[in-house]
């Protein structure tokens, strides 16, 4: 029996970038199965009275976050280029991600989006950028974009966002094991250990 973990992330979220780049390898090494669940932070922030990222609303917090992310990316050997505007709108990317996740290119697409957005500063709300990323992955953009705008896919994204709210999620990334939340890229290892322990796999 393997451990299970839900990975709630938002494409606009800076700390979701290193988490998304790291999680597959770490989870695989630990024998933990990960369900990728892109969701939207916008509605959750709105219900807290924020109309943009708290990193924009509180400049000192924003300055710290960019410096901290710089250190994290440097340690991981990940490129970092701050997208303008920040935050980017992650709606289109999230819908396309759900198409990828029902097929076989979902996780690779999510990593591509983050690499484009935070590694190269590209505009992920731009359909042309998303098309490029799909082509690079050997996928046919037209058919995927049509599916991405279907009620079925829109519904999956809405369901993930509602589930995030129900779980008490207020930021991203969040690693969820049962109803237990682990918030932030720096909680990934702890969440993986928890998922393993819960599934009865012995710690090595």
Residues that bind a copy of itself (CB under 8 A): 48, 58, 60-61, 63-64, 67-68, 71, 168-171, 180-181, 183, 186, 190
71/125 Cα distance (integer angstroms):
26
3-class DSSP state of 202: coil
Query: Is the Cβ of residue 148 or residue 164 nearer to a copy of itself in the bound state?
Result: 164
Q: Are 175 and 5 in contact (CB under 8 A)?
A: yes
Q: How far is the CB of 150 from a copy of itself (least distance, A)?
A: 31
Q: How far is the CB of 7 from a copy of itself (least distance, A)?
A: 17
Q: Looking at the chain, how many residues does it have?
A: 204
Q: Number of helices and strands (H, E) in the chain?
A: 11, 4
The number of beta carbons lying within 10 Å of the beta carbon of residue 134 is: 23
The pair of structure tokens assigned to 189 is 């290892």
Q: How far is the CB of 44 from a copy of itself (least distance, A)?
A: 8
Query: Is the Cβ of residue 70 or residue 136 nearer to a copy of itself in the bound state?
Result: 70
Query: Is the Cβ of residue 58 or residue 152 nearer to a copy of itself in the bound state?
Result: 58
Q: How far is the CB of 65 from a copy of itself (least distance, A)?
A: 9
Q: How far is the CB of 81 from a copy of itself (least distance, A)?
A: 21
**Strand pairing class (180-183; 3-9):** unpaired
The pair of structure tokens assigned to 13 is 């979220």
Query: Is the Cβ of residue 46 or residue 67 nearer to a copy of itself in the bound state?
Result: 67
Query: Is the Cβ of residue 8 or residue 109 nearer to a copy of itself in the bound state?
Result: 8
The pair of structure tokens assigned to 24 is 């597959």
φ, ψ of residue 37 in degrees (nearest 5): -130, 85
Question: Distances in Å between the alpha carbon of 28 and those of 23, 130, 149, 169, 182?
Answer: 8, 27, 32, 25, 18
Query: Is the Cβ of residue 46 or residue 64 nearer to a copy of itself in the bound state?
Result: 64
């Amino acid at each position: 029996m393997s451990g299970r973990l839900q990975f709630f992330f938002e494409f606009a979220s800076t700390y979701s970038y290193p988490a998304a780049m790291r999680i597959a390898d770490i989870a695989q090494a630990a024998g933990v199965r990960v369900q990728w669940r892109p969701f939207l932070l916008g509605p959750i922030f709105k219900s807290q009275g924020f109309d943009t990222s708290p990193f924009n609303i509180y400049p000192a917090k924003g300055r710290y976050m960019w410096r901290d992310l710089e250190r994290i990316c440097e340690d991981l050997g990940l490129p970092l280029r701050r997208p303008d505007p920040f935050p980017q709108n992650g709606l289109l990317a999230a819908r396309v991600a759900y198409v990828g996740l029902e097929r076989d290119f979902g996780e690779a697409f999510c990593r591509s989006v983050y690499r484009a957005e935070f590694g190269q500063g590209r505009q992920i709300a731009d359909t042309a950028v998303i098309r490029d990323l799909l082509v690079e992955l050997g996928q046919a953009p037209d058919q995927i974009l049509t599916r991405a705008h279907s009620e079925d896919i829109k519904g999956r994204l809405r369901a993930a966002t509602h589930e995030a709210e129900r779980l008490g999620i207020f930021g991203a990334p969040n690693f969820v094991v049962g109803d237990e939340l682990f918030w932030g890229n720096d909680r990934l290892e702890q969440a993986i250990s928890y998922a393993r322990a819960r599934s009865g796999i012995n710690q090595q």
